[in-house]
Amino acid sequence: MGQIVGAGIVAHAPTIMLPKETRYELNEGKEISLVPGLHRLRTEVLDELKPDTIVILDTHWHTIVEFCISSHSRRAGLYTSDELPRGMKQIPYDLKGNPALATAMAERATECGVRTNPIDDPWLPIHYPTVNLATYLHGGEEWISVSHAYTAESETFLKVGEGIGKAIAESDRRVVLIASGSMSHRFWPFLEIPNHEASDPRHISTPEAREADLERIEWMKQGDHARVIDTMDEFLRHLPEARFGHYLMMAAACGGREWKARGRLFSDYENATGTSQVHVWFDRAGDGWA
């Protein structure tokens, strides 16, 4: 019987791929906390858990009429971002997949009421939430990416996550879920961005967005996932990335409103050109897992 052995919200901000000296220059001479946080996640969490499979809920894989799941036996190549081709260019990746698990996740999500398909087309693009995190976190595990349908609503994401959780439970894999994306996600206007590149959260796009983010981080630290889920209409006013679908799918796979795992921070709450960035990890240990 398979099991989700850990899960977390993990930021993929392009800044993490910049050279150290550039990161320091943009951040008032200091390192952004996201980078050491990723190193800690690898050594303190993944090296201890030794998962068979990592499932990335990838907020940059945009689909419209369906959810899709990468079902390749392997994805390998060089990645250059069309969004930021100077800062993220020719990044090597070589990721083993698990076609059987990917197909089962798609089937179970579809059975839960949301059309979801496995895709193994060798020319399918890969996106930087997957590539950036793999650069820091890949340790030979199988990696599977899940798309975000931008037409989806909160209950849609929850149903997909429920299906993913069922498929994992029916498998023989130890799985880590990584919800890769930010919380509030409003950028500063183009000409104002150079004034807001430091990580200090005072640069978050609005004070109200910052307060909403911090409120939900506290709920996650308390294990109150039901409250996060049940206040999504309010949170959507602050434009969370991908309608916060990455969190919703992860939470649903882990038990939904009954999930009570407490989060622990592996970074500070930080700004990236107006958007929020944070690593929050949820351990399997304890009685909070439904």
Mean of per-residue pLDDT scores for the chain: 96
Place of tokens 């929850």: 158
Cα–Cα dist 160/157, whole Å: 5
Neighbours of 135 (CB within 10 A): 18
The encoded tokens of residue 112 equal: 């839960």
Which residue type sits at 119?
Answer: I
What CATH superfamily is the domain 3-283?
LigB-like (3.40.830.10)
Q: What is the pLDDT of residue 168?
A: 98
Cα–Cα dist 287/176, whole Å: 18
Q: What is the pLDDT of residue 289?
A: 72
Q: What residues have CB less than 8 Å from 21, skipping those under 6 apart?
A: none
Cα–Cα dist 191/215, whole Å: 30
Neighbours of 43 (CB within 10 A): 10
pLDDT tens digits for 60-78?
999 999 999 999 999 999 9
Do 16 and 35 contact (CB within 8 A), yes or no? yes
Q: What is the pLDDT of residue 59?
A: 98
Do 55 and 93 contact (CB within 8 A), yes or no? no
Q: What is the pLDDT of residue 244?
A: 98
* Residues across the chain: 290
- SS3 of 73-123: CEEEEEECCCCCCCCCCCEEEEEECCHHHHHHHHHHHHHCCCCEEEECCCC
Cα–Cα dist 246/276, whole Å: 15
The encoded tokens of residue 124 equal: 């399918």
Residue 169's SS3 state is: helix
pLDDT tens digits for 207-255?
999 999 999 999 999 999 999 999 999 999 999 999 999 999 999 999 9
- DSSP 8-class letter at 240: B
Do 157 and 249 contact (CB within 8 A), yes or no? yes
The residues of the chain scoring below 70 in pLDDT are 285-288, 290
